Each structure stands twice: as C-alpha cells, then as structure tokens.
Amino acid sequence: MKKITTLLYFGKMSFKEKMAYMQSVWFDLLGMLVAICLYFSLWQAVFKNSSEINGFSPKEIVVYVILSQILNNHMSNGINMELSSWIYQGKIDVELMRPISLIENLFGKRMGEFAFFYLAKGLPVFIISMVMLNGEIKTNFWLVIIFVVMLFLAMCITFYFDFLIGLCGFYTMNSYGLKFSKDAILSFLAGGIIPLAFFPEIIQNVLIYLPFASMISVPVNCILGKYTFNQILGYLILQIMWIFILSIISKAIYKRVILKVTVQGG
C-alpha cells in the first residue's frame, strides 16, 4: 500500500510539473495535428479508388491514423531521455539516494505523464481531428474501457523499453542516438506508420505476438471492433506477460549496471 501511495505521489507531482508548461502543449497539439493531416492525405490517395483494403474502410483508416499518431507521439516521449540526462549531468547519485527505487521513481513520473498526455493532448487532438477529417467510429462502452486498459498496459511495456534504453547511458553517457533509433523501429513494428494488416501474413503472425504490436496496433484495432472477445482476452494476457518479462529483464540489468555507476560531471 505504501508503494502505491508513493507511486501516486510521484505521478501527481509529474502531472503538476507538466501543467506548468502549458505553452509547450499548444505546439505539441499543433505538431500532432499536422502529422495526422499528412498521413491522412497519403491514405486518401491509397483509398482513392477502393472502398476497402486489407479489412479497412476509408472511415476506419481515418480513425486508425488519428489514434496511431496520438499513441505514437506518446510512445516516443519516454523516460529514457530523463534517465540519460540524470546520468550525463551527474544527478543520478541524488536519485539513487531516494527512499524509493529508481524504477519506481520513474514509473510514478511516467504515470503522471500518461494521465497528462491523454487528458491535455490526446483527447483534444482526437476530437479536433475527427471533426476536421470527418472521421467516424462505431464502438461501445466496453470497448472504450478495454481500450483504456490496453493503453495503460502499453504504457507499462513502453516504460520498460525506455528504461532499458536509458540504462545504456551508464555506458555511453549519451543515449540520444539510441532513443531516435528506438522510436523509428518501434513505431514501424508497432503499426504506427502502416497498419500491421498491410504486412505479409507471415510477418503479421510474428509481429502480433511481439510486444511492439501491443503499443499501438492492438489497442487501436480493439476499439475499431476488429477483435472477438477471445482475441481481446488473449491480447490482454499477452500484454501482461510482456510487462512481466520486460520488468524482470530491466531489474536484472539494473542490478548489474548500478554496481558500475560512473557519473560524468558530478
């Protein structure tokens, strides 16, 4: 119970910290809207003479583009850069002295960022984009609830990936290059650029069981109503399984890395 209270405290502080920089939110909103409009234009050309491609109708691809770009933007803003900067600037020793573990500290902050992002950025961008692009979504209350749960689980999966990338800063002192490579690769494999349904079937069957699909493709396809109840249940179990696996790997590597801490500039 004490750990949960501490995590909520860090989440609350992170949320308040983001609220203090509302001006940057407007630029982020504009950037997401521009990206959505660009991708929408490309898919319009693809669907110009087609009423359905690979199971997607023109209306569904509009919703897919909007949601995938929102999720992709959230996925690319992980904690790896913050962890890397702490190491580079020599602040990591202060963070390690806190009564809460570094992983729990960063996870609490990530929860606050998660809440702030979808309330202050994701939801407004979704509504504006749906109106601008004449989008239409046919879903129900339970699919929306499952979608939100999947988003949270996707955040957990992304967190551990970001944490592993951040740990590289203990060796390289700079993980900017790794961060951008991670964003590009994960965005592609998660379905942030092209829906996984457009990949060859053999590749789809591999990617769908990897953790990347759970970050974007699975939640978006879920709210679009493309899965049966059994499939949804299977993907939820798969997400939880990947969180468990990645958390074990992250903690194991963290324990080894922390014994060899070398701080630059501190």
| Per-residue pLDDT at 56 | 87
pTM of the model: 0.85
Would residue 138 be called left, alpha or beta, if left means φ above 0 and alpha means ψ between -120 and 50 degrees?
beta
Please determine, for residue 84, whether its predicted confidence score (pLDDT) is greater than 50: yes
Q: Is the per-residue pLDDT at 236 higher than 50? A: yes
Q: Encoding tokens for residue 97?
A: 């002295």
Q: What is the pLDDT, as a whole number, of residue 253?
A: 85
Least confident of 129-138, 149-158, 195-204: 129-138
Q: How confident is the model at residue 222 (pLDDT cuts 50, 70, 90)?
A: very high
Torsion angles phi and psi, residue 56, rounded to 5: -110, 130
**Burial status of residue 199 (CB atoms within 10 A of its CB: 0-12, 13-18, 19 or more):** middle
**Helix boundaries (H) for 90-140:** 92-96, 102-116, 123-132
Closest residue by Cα to residue 62 from 151, 147, 140, 134: 134
Tokens representing 222 are 């879920």
End-to-end CA distance of the chain: 34
